[in-house]
């Protein structure tokens, strides 16, 4: 069987989240290689009785997994916590790695992963919590700005338009949010100027070449300061 490179993230179990509704795991990712199927590796990482579960977010095969893993570990060394674990404070690591593999290893094939029942339950609990925050925290603020929006089917985020920009606001861990900004006509420089607190993206894959900037892992006050500033200058 071919080696498979994967990105995994630890999450608290559904039971632990029920004990503490605000419990959330720090933004940590694991980049590793397995010779087994990704879903089997998921079961091995922390076992079934641990209050911490590990969900494999993305996985690829049909490439030199060991070589790519070594390259990524070197590139990300400044954010390494220990071994194969890396700090992902802005929650951009998954997108950056996916863009890297797409750009430099087009031969790679993404592998679908089916979560174990306990991992799926933990992920669902996180998604439910994020969905509740979207309806109670985000939507009222968008209504105040008279912004028309569409809630994602999974309830984890909203998409909306401001001028020539398309924006997506997604709930993240620990009550944080990430705002991603797209435009076909505006440049990255335009986006950085138009949206206070926004940052340039670390990588841009061909599939998502219209992404211009983002405000990563921030509280709502910071994000809505940016949105309010844009609306004040350009309108909704």
Helix or strand or coil: residue 121? helix
Span 142-176, pLDDT tens digits: 999 999 999 876 667 899 999 999 999 987 666 78
68 Cβ neighbours under 8 A, 6+ residues apart: 5, 101, 105
Tell me the pLDDT band of 21, cut-offs 50, 70 and 90: low
The confidence score (pLDDT) of residue 51 equals 75
pLDDT at 63 over 70: yes
Q: Which one is the CATH code of 132-234: 2.60.40, 3.40.1800, 3.30.1460, 3.30.70? A: 3.30.1460
Domain ranges of the chain: 4-114, 132-234
Q: What is the mean pLDDT of the chain?
A: 82
Question: How do strand 211-218 and strand 177-182 relate by DSSP bridges?
Answer: antiparallel
Tell me the pLDDT band of 104, cut-offs 50, 70 and 90: very high
The strand pairing partners of 8, in sequence order, are 30, 56
- Packing angle of the helix pair 65-75, 93-104 (nearest 10 deg): 130
Mean pLDDT computed over 78-89: 89
pLDDT at 230 over 70: yes
Q: Identify the residue whose tokens are 């509280």.
A: 219
């Amino acid at each position: 069987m071919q080696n498979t490179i994967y990105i995994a993230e630890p999450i608290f179990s559904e039971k632990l989240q029920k004990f503490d509704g605000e419990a959330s795991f720090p933004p940590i990712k694991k980049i590793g290689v397995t010779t087994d199927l990704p879903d089997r590796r998921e079961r091995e990482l922390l076992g079934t009785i641990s209050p911490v579960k590990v969900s494999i977010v993305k996985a690829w095969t049909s490439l030199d997994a060991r070589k790519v893993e070594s390259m990524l570990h070197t590139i990300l060394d400044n954010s390494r916590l220990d071994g194969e674990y890396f700090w992902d404070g802005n929650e951009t690591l998954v997108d950056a790695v996916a863009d890297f593999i797409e750009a430099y290893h087009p031969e790679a094939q993404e592998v679908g992963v089916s979560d174990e029942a306990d991992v799926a339950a933990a992920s669902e609990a996180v998604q439910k919590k994020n969905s509740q925050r979207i309806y109670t925290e985000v939507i009222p603020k968008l209504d105040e700005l008279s912004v028309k929006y569409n809630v994602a089917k999974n309830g984890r985020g909203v998409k909306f338009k401001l001028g020539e920009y398309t924006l997506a606001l997604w709930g993240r861990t620990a009550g944080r949010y990430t705002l991603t900004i797209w435009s076909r006509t505006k440049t990255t420089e335009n986006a950085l100027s138009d949206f206070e607190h926004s940052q340039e993206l670390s990588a841009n894959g061909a599939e998502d070449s219209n992404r211009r900037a983002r405000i990563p892992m921030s509280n709502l006050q910071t994000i809505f300061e940016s949105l309010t500033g844009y609306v004040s200058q350009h309108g909704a």
